Amino acid sequence: MGQPILLEGEPGVGKTEAAKALAEALDTPMLRLQCYEGLTSSEALYEWNYPRQLLAIRLAEARGETLRDADLFSEEYLLARPLLAALDHPGPRPAVLLIDEVDRGDDEFEAFLFELLAESAVTIPELGTRRAQFPPVVVLTSNRTRDLHDALKRRCLYHWIEYPDDDRVAAIIRRRVPAAGERLAAQVAHGVARLRDLDLAKPPGVAEAISWAEALQVLGADSLDGASAAQTAGAVLKYSEDLQTVRAAGFATLAGGDD
């Protein structure tokens, strides 16, 4: 359909991984733009290689020559950032362009994205308009730290990603950490579900479940119990207050037991 895909959901449910899986399925590169507060359109599109430009000016001066603006602001000195790189992708298939955590950008950047996605083209003042020969497959993700504009949402195919159930999480762990085994993967998935039931500042997601399984493997653990959960808590809990909450509940409860 050619529309961007907007994925929303809680942090850690796998929105970014979904874009990676799409790129893998399409057998095409994925270009990622990580949004943050204060991100500008120029930072997301391109910049000029000022050190190389300065060197070229110095070399020209040493030869008694003068460089024109057209000499300095040319393809030779252009550094493409993710948005421009996705538009310039030579094919034979479109690249996947991941615009991650778009809700962290401001209204001005969101309006710029809307125009770029509508036209699959951008104008560089010194070089003219660049139009995509293979318009990228665009995936936007949002953690809903703020509401996106309706105009942007209307242009997108929308999908809300729920946190997967224990069986699905266990399957993901077995795929990403094959050495974990079926039993440990199931215990970690169940333990993460129990953590998500607690009142935590940052409930763990799929990425933390994978990290937890990896940490247990490093310890040589073949099952999850209170001792191994306490030893590897840093892989799944990222705030001291969350660690205190879990400690009060008892680490063994994560494995279905009692301290």
Please tell me whether the overall predicted TM-score, pTM, comes out greater than 0.85 for this model: no
Judgement on whether residues 25 and 148 belong to the same structural domain of the protein = yes
What is the mean pLDDT of the segment spanning 192-198?
A: 93
Question: Tell me, what amino acid is at 223?
Answer: S
Contacts of 74 (CB under 8 A, 6+ apart): 126, 127
> Which sign does the torsion angle of CA 95, 47, 6, 115 carry?
negative
160 and 166 Cβ atoms separated by less than 8 Å? no
Stretch (H or E) spanning 230: helix 226-231
pLDDT score at 171 = 96
With tokens 């799929």, the residue in question is 206
My answer on whether 127 and 176 are in the same domain is no
Q: What is the DSSP string of 32-63?
A: EEE--TT--HHHHHEEE-HHHHHHHHHHHHHT
Residues 6 or more apart whose CB falls under 8 angstroms from that of 190 comprise 166, 254, 255, 256
Give the 3-state secondary structure of 57-78: HHHHHHCCCCCCHHHHCCHHHE
Higher pLDDT, 257 or 209: 209
Express each pLDDT in 94-117 by its tens digit: 999 999 999 999 888 998 888 888
- Using CA atoms, how far apart are residues 60 and 54, in angstroms rounded to an integer? 10
Give the residue with greater pLDDT, 69 vs 81: 81
* Amino acid type, 201: A
The CATH number that applies at residue 50 is 3.40.50.300
Report the chain's mean pLDDT, rounded to a whole number: 91
pLDDT per residue over 115-143, tens digit each? 888 889 888 888 889 999 999 999 999 99
Give 4-28 pLDDT, tens digit per residue: 999 999 888 889 999 999 999 999 9
Query: What's the whole-number mean pLDDT along residues 59-83?
Result: 89
- 215 in the same domain as 176: yes
Same domain, 131 and 177: no
Say if residue 62 is in the same domain as residue 33. yes
- Let me know whether 73 and 94 are in one domain: yes
Considering the domain architecture, whether residues 130 and 176 belong to the same structural domain is answered as no
Indicate the residue among 160, 186, 204 that finishes a domain.
160
State the Cα angle at 209 between 203 and 210, rounded to 5°. 145
227 shares a domain with 99: no
Alpha carbons 17 and 35: distance in angstroms, whole number: 16
Total domains in the fold of the chain = 2
Do 244 and 128 lie in one domain? The reply is no
List, for residues 144-177, the tens digit of each pLDDT value: 888 898 888 888 999 999 999 999 999 999 999 9
Q: What are 184's two structure tokens?
A: 């440990």
Asked if residue 171 and residue 150 are part of one domain, the reply reads no
The Cβ of residue 198 has, within 10 Å, a number of other Cβ atoms equal to 14
Domain range for 249 is 166-255
pLDDT above 70: residue 256: no
pLDDT at 139: 97
